[in-house]
Chains A and B, each alone.
Chain A
Amino acid sequence: MNKYILSKKTVVNDLATFYSFLIGLFVAVCIGSIILLIQDQNPINVFSLMLKLSVGSINSLSNSLNKAIPLILAGLGIAIMNSVKLWNIGAEGQIFLGAIAVNLIYININISNSSLFIFILLISGFIGGAICILLPAITKVFFGVNEIITTLLTNYVIIGLTVYLVNGPWKDPKSLNFPAAAYVGKEVYLPTIFGKLSTGFLICILFAIGAHYLKEKSVFGYEMRIAGGSAMTAIYAGINAKQKAFYAMLVGGGFAGLAGAIELLSQTHRVSPGISQGFGYTAIIVAAITGMRPIGIFLVGCLFGALTIGGAVIQTIGVSSYIAEIIQASTLIGALISQFFFTYQIKEVEDA
């Protein structure tokens, strides 16, 4: 008698993650339609308006892509760390510390050349994100402390620090005790490409390509994969696995920190507890469903940005915010399930 086993496909289509996301979207549209029909709403109207309001005009398209920027950058950071088989659950905190670092530099340094100033602020954001993950990196490399726990817990510390700063030393006197820091000056706002799309999106494209080469094509990426794959092989090949893990963590944190810097300089313009609305956590999902592939993260990040805006604006046509959440969640579940079928196959094996 033969039996059936589940095995991972040896060759996985690079675009599979993208397709699976589209299938997920289709599943979500089906589930959403049923719910909308129960609610006496016309699904075609709702979804076409949702589409129009999330990508149908220059304004809404740039809103969607702006929302994608932090998801893509933090997602890339997570993917780089995952090359050495480490999980970064701390992107949320790194986004916050990136933004805090930008504000710290902004209020203490003044550079008259605004392009140079913006460049320095972006770098400070990157360094801020790296500093955020420094402690988890050190404890991981030297003591083997589980990075999932330490990066997750760092989030709470950093968000607490943010709340302290905006209620204490950085509180804007003009905000009448409302917890937010003062706005940064217009001279350091990131310029826009078209509509309201910030130049942060170009940075995103560059970093996605960069991360792709770093992960897939560079010697460092190769060494990271070996180091993450097997400690014994790494030793045999003369690769310093600890050093690779350490660098991968710092770079991963830096990417998320940069996301915080861009968010501050292009969207919120000030430090407040609302800098990130869970971008760091959503980025984990984006990275996971794309199988940690940088180009996939870029594409799915863009779709996710549109979905976020679509979810927010769906309410403006009279659909409950909870239905919007159901549609977002079913997209994810649909994508994850269909991805399973792209990466695994059912094999028939002979019973020994």
Chain B
Amino acid sequence: MALIELGILLFIYNKKYEKEVRMRRSWAVGLIIISILTMACGGAATVDDYKAAFVYVGPADDGGWSQAHDVGRQYLVDQTGIETQYTELIPEDATAFRTVAEAYIDQGYNIIFGTTFGYIDAMAEMAEEYPDVIFLHCSGYLKNDTNFGNYFGKMYQPRYLSGLAAGAITESNKIGYVAAFPIPEVIRGINAFAAGVKEVNPDATVEVVWTFTWFGPEEETQAANALLETGADVLAQHQDSPSTGVAAEAAGAKWISYNTAYGKDAAPGAFVTAPVWSWGPYYVDVVESIVNGEFTAEAYWGGMETGLVSLYELSSDVPSDTAELISQRSEEIIAGSFDPEIVEEEFIDNVIGTVNP
């Protein structure tokens, strides 16, 4: 645009103002200078042309899932300087997501991150309605070819590693697992965890209780207590709050957390380790690709080699030979020579529970 403008101005300058007074000439020269300046500034997009909005299902400081994303958001701001905003506690309901997302679009936000599975249909619909806005959906499976992508991490890899730790720690050979919804992501995590348990302790079982909520401290506590009552002495979780850890600590049991290590302070005595997310680098990469015009709508699934998922450092509860095994397996996964099996249709044999509750 600016180039064409420049060309026209030069043409006008040559043809019309050639014999005009000096005043007019300087006016035209001024315009040319301005248009060169606009070309320099407006030609390539900068990070100031973009505003990114994040929509969370739980509180931004839930000590788990949403907080992991919010830490990533802050990292994004620190690294790129992009303007961001977040909205918390938005239920997994199409109209609720739409209300918030449209308010962002009204204010000129053009990158929208939805960080829970249930936003999937609303995001897919809105991506068609707002082709100029980029929608990125965490944990979903839908995408289009232009402005709607999804992103996730191979959390089953560090979950498998945490299973090795759990299998070594348990004395009652009963491990409890508080889980949100029986969707493929969760089932594959449970199976990878159970495979880790089985590898170090073939006698131990993993019992699953479904809560049907991602963030529900009360439901999570109830499920954790039910598992503790059946004799479980290690609890793992696929939930967004550290409630399971608090229940485990009260019962003198051990706890494999999830999402972030921030929940550690809620139950320092029970905390063993946690498969954790590190969204920041991904957010920086994807925003930079958008700013540079290199963005393609893809289904991103990063493993441990990208640093997106990892296992938090182990507590002293884990025996040293197990800790060695974990670091060895971890290196193998990162090198690509080993990968835990993905099973998401049914539970493997040492898991007690059903995928069709």
Which residues of chain A have a CB within 8 Å of any CB of chain B?
49, 52-53, 57, 59-60, 63, 66, 163, 167, 176-179, 183, 267-269, 272, 274, 277, 309, 312-313, 315-318, 321
Number of residue pairs A-B, CB distance < 8 angstroms: 75
Instruction: Count B interface residues, CB 8 Å.
Output: 34
Given the interface contacts A179-B212, A316-B104, does A268 sit within 8 Å of B87 by beta carbon?
no
Given the interface contacts A53-B106, A268-B95, A274-B96, does A316 sit within 8 Å of B87 by beta carbon?
yes
Which stretch (B24-32, B179-187, B201-209, B328-336) binds chain A?
Answer: B179-187
Contacting pair B91 A315 (CB below 8 A): no
Bound together, the chains give a CA A63 to CA B104 distance in angstroms of: 14
Given the interface contacts A178-B118, A274-B93, A317-B85, does A312 sit within 8 Å of B181 by beta carbon?
no
Given the interface contacts A176-B184, A315-B88, does A60 sit within 8 Å of B106 by beta carbon?
yes
Contacting pair B357 A167 (CB below 8 A): yes
Indicate which residue in B86, B91, B357 contacts A277 across the interface (CB closer than 8 Å): B91
Contacting pair A179 B106 (CB below 8 A): no
**Least CB separation from A325: chain B residue:** B89
Contacting pair A63 B93 (CB below 8 A): no
Chain A nearest Cβ from B60, distance in angstroms: 9
Question: Counting CB contacts under 8 A, is B317 at the interface?
Answer: no
Chain A to chain B contacts (Cβ below 8 Å), 11 pairs: A49-B107, A53-B103, A53-B106, A60-B106, A63-B99, A163-B212, A177-B181, A179-B212, A312-B100, A313-B99, A317-B85
Bound together, the chains give a CA A179 to CA B109 distance in angstroms of: 31
DSSP class of A's interface residues: helix, strand, loop or mixed? helix
Contacting pair A59 B181 (CB below 8 A): no
**Least CB separation from A311: chain B residue:** B99
Contacting pair A277 B184 (CB below 8 A): no
Chain B nearest Cβ from A324, distance in angstroms: 10
Bound together, the chains give a CA A218 to CA B282 distance in angstroms of: 66
Contacting pair B107 A316 (CB below 8 A): yes
Bound together, the chains give a CA A176 to CA B139 distance in angstroms of: 12
Chain A nearest Cβ from B141, distance in angstroms: 8
Which chain A positions have C-beta within 8 A of B184?
176-177
Question: Counting CB contacts under 8 A, is B117 at the interface?
Answer: yes
Which chain A positions have C-beta within 8 A of B18?
none
Contacting pair A321 B88 (CB below 8 A): yes
Bound together, the chains give a CA A163 to CA B219 distance in angstroms of: 15
Bound together, the chains give a CA A4 to CA B91 distance in angstroms of: 50
Given the interface contacts A59-B102, A315-B88, A318-B85, does A177 sit within 8 Å of B183 by beta carbon?
yes
**Least CB separation from A174: chain B residue:** B121
Bound together, the chains give a CA A274 to CA B93 distance in angstroms of: 6
Contacting pair B181 A178 (CB below 8 A): yes
Bound together, the chains give a CA A57 to CA B106 distance in angstroms of: 9
Contacting pair A312 B91 (CB below 8 A): no
Which chain B positions have C-beta within 8 A of A59?
102, 106
Bound together, the chains give a CA A274 to CA B181 distance in angstroms of: 16
Which chain B positions have C-beta within 8 A of A176?
141, 183-184
Indicate which residue in A183, A267, A268, A316 contacts B85 across the interface (CB closer than 8 Å): A316
Bound together, the chains give a CA A134 to CA B104 distance in angstroms of: 44
Which chain B positions have C-beta within 8 A of A177?
181-184, 355-356
Given the interface contacts A167-B357, A178-B117, does A277 sit within 8 Å of B93 by beta carbon?
yes
Given the interface contacts A167-B357, A178-B183, A179-B212, does A312 sit within 8 Å of B96 by beta carbon?
yes
Question: Counting CB contacts under 8 A, is B12 at the interface?
Answer: no
Bound together, the chains give a CA A324 to CA B49 distance in angstroms of: 29
**Least CB separation from A313: chain B residue:** B103
Which chain B positions have C-beta within 8 A of A321?
87-89
Bound together, the chains give a CA A163 to CA B213 distance in angstroms of: 12
Chain B 120-148 interface 0/1 with A at a Cβ cutoff of 8 Å (1 = within): 01000000000000000000010000000
Question: Counting CB contacts under 8 A, is B94 at the interface?
Answer: yes
Apart from the given pairs A163-B212, A315-B88, A316-B103, 8 other A-B contacts in the complex at a CB distance below 8 Å = A63-B102, A178-B118, A267-B95, A277-B96, A315-B86, A315-B100, A321-B87, A321-B88
Given the interface contacts A176-B183, A178-B181, does A315 sit within 8 Å of B87 by beta carbon?
yes
Bound together, the chains give a CA A167 to CA B184 distance in angstroms of: 15
Indicate which residue in A163, A167, A268 contacts B93 across the interface (CB closer than 8 Å): A268
Bound together, the chains give a CA A317 to CA B53 distance in angstroms of: 10
CB within 8 Å of A: which of B57-99?
Answer: 85-96, 98-99
Contacting pair A312 B99 (CB below 8 A): yes
Which chain A positions have C-beta within 8 A of B53?
316
Which chain B positions have C-beta within 8 A of A317?
85, 107
Bound together, the chains give a CA A177 to CA B141 distance in angstroms of: 14
Bound together, the chains give a CA A177 to CA B98 distance in angstroms of: 23
**Least CB separation from A320: chain B residue:** B88
Bound together, the chains give a CA A276 to CA B156 distance in angstroms of: 35
Bound together, the chains give a CA A12 to CA B181 distance in angstroms of: 53
**Least CB separation from B99: chain A residue:** A312
Which chain B positions have C-beta within 8 A of A313?
99-100, 103
Which chain A positions have C-beta within 8 A of B85?
316-318
Q: Among A59, A176, A183, A313, find the residue whose CB has the most chain B CB atoms closer than 10 A.
A: A176
Which chain A positions have C-beta within 8 A of B212?
163, 167, 179
Bound together, the chains give a CA A176 to CA B94 distance in angstroms of: 17
Which chain B positions have C-beta within 8 A of A167?
212, 357
Which chain A positions have C-beta within 8 A of B89?
321
Contacting pair A60 B102 (CB below 8 A): yes
Bound together, the chains give a CA A66 to CA B104 distance in angstroms of: 19
Bound together, the chains give a CA A27 to CA B280 distance in angstroms of: 42
Chain B 163-195 interface 0/1 with A at a Cβ cutoff of 8 Å (1 = within): 000000000000000000111100000000000
